[in-house]
Structure 1
Amino acid sequence: MIALTWNIVLALIWVSLSGHFTAINLLIGFVLGYLILAYALRDLPVFANYARKGPRFVRFVGFFIKELVKSNLRVAHDVLTPTHHMRPAVIAFPLIAESDGEITILANLISLTPGTLSLDVSSDRKVLYIHVMYFDDEAEVHASIRYMETRMLEVLR
């Protein structure tokens, strides 16, 4: 967390020195601050871990956008065709995520993806109940959600 704070401070310094407070300029300052921290402080464990999270975050965003587009196209195809291919089901998904924040982020990512909706978390926080519109293959559904969870946890941990 301290590395992120330093990165934000460097981005704000960049914006103040440039004299133009815009979102693009702040983003440029954030990227430059990230590169400075990743290179200059690479021997410190806190900053080395932070440097690895940047590329993971970018890959996760790309992965999530790809999944979002695929699921949107599947739902749009089902809406536009005369026959419906839906096989709705409610599944119990065992969680690897442990903290409330990790579970909340995963539940929101699942709910953002069309065709799935997070319903509830068990009282022991070990199982997430999910409504799935296309329950063709149980192993495939579990594998795709598990893949999203592991990718998310790579960024968060």
Structure 2
Amino acid sequence: MIKTKFLSNLLLSLVWIAITGTFTFENFIFGFAVSFFLLWITATDRRDNKYFNRIPKLISFVLFFLYELIKANIEVAYDVVTPKHYMKPGIVKIPLDARSDLEITLLANLISLTPGTLSLDVSDDRKVLYVHAMYVKDREGFVADIKNGFEKRLLEITR
């Protein structure tokens, strides 16, 4: 069901591009948004359909990740250019709600892509992720940020 809705959305986006005759990324995104809205209006089972719930969550997740990425880049860059170092490095044990290999891999990679953090290892029972962070002022706060930020939003998309 999700695949057919997504393919329909892509097809309608390509039809939009063909009709307008403008082959740009912005026009494709606009066509995708318009076709998503049209598919949502014509759907009879909007609440039960995972596609209409996942796309807004996916967009929200991408924006959240970009915000976190920019924030971490600024924090690391500021620490590099100032004479005083503000880092307090540490290895933090993060309990996981993610269970599948895909969820754990995505979470570990998203953490590693953010400057100042690096996923080190997953426990053998796959219940704990070990993360090295440059700025660990409060371990509980750091764990809460990962759990309520990356992991929570990632699980909303994958489940």
TM interval, shorter chain, is: 0.7 to 0.9
Q: Distance in 2 between matches of 1:140 and 1:62?
A: 22
Please list every run of 5 or more consecutive structure 2 residues that lacks an aligned counterpart in the other structure.
Answer: none
Shift of the alpha carbon at 1:110? 0.7
Which portions of structure 1, spanning 4 or more consecutive aligned residues, are displaced by more than 4 angstroms?
A: none
Gap regions ≥5 residues in structure 1 = none
Residue 44 of structure 1 and its aligned partner are, at CA, apart by 5.3
Match of 1:115 in 2: 116
Cα offset for 1:149? 0.8
Secondary structure of 1:92's aligned partner: strand
Identity, in percent, stands at: 47
* Deviations, residues 57-113 of structure 1 (Å, cap 9, x unaligned): 232223222222222222122112212122211222111112222222211211121
The 1:98/1:6 distance shift into structure 2, 3 A limit, reads farther
C-alpha RMSD of matched pairs (Å): 2.0
1:21 aligns with 2:23: yes
Matches within 5 A, 1:31-42: 31-42=33-44
- The separation in 2 between residues aligned to 1:78 and 1:90, in whole angstroms, is 19
Say which SS state the counterpart of residue 91 (structure 1) adopts: strand
Identify which range, 1-10 or 145-154, moves more after superposition.
1-10
The total of aligned residue pairs comes to 156
**Which position in structure 2 is the counterpart of 1:124?**
125
